[in-house]
Amino acid sequence: MADAPAPLAPRVLVTGASRGLGLEFVRQYAAAGARVFATCRAPEAAQALEALAAEHADAVSVAPLDVRDPDAIDAVVASVAADGPGHLDVLINCAGVSPRGEEFDNIRAEDMLEVLRVNTVAPLIVAQRCHALLARAERPRLVNISSSMGSLAKKDYGRHYSYAAGKAALNMITRAAACDLAADGIVVVSLHPGWVQTDLGGPQATLSPRESVAGMIEVIEGLTSEHSGRFLTWSGEEHPW
Residues 179-233 have pLDDT tens digits of: 999 999 999 999 999 999 887 777 888 899 999 999 999 999 999 999 999 999 9
Distances (CA, A) of 126 to 66, 163, 167, 168, 198: 11, 19, 16, 18, 24
Q: Which residues are catalytic, by number?
A: 163
Residue 9 above 70 pLDDT? no
Can you tell me the mean pLDDT for 115-123? 98
In this prediction the pTM is 0.95
Residue whose C-alpha is closest to residue 36's, from 16, 56, 54: 56
Give the rounded percent of residues in the chain with a pLDDT score beyond 90: 90
Residue 84 above 50 pLDDT? yes
According to DSSP, the residues that pair with 11 across neighbouring strands are: 35
Residues 96-111 have pLDDT tens digits of: 999 888 999 999 999 9
Residues 20-58 have pLDDT tens digits of: 999 999 999 999 999 999 999 999 999 999 999 999 999
Geometric angle at alpha carbon 209, from 142 and 191, rounded to 5°: 30
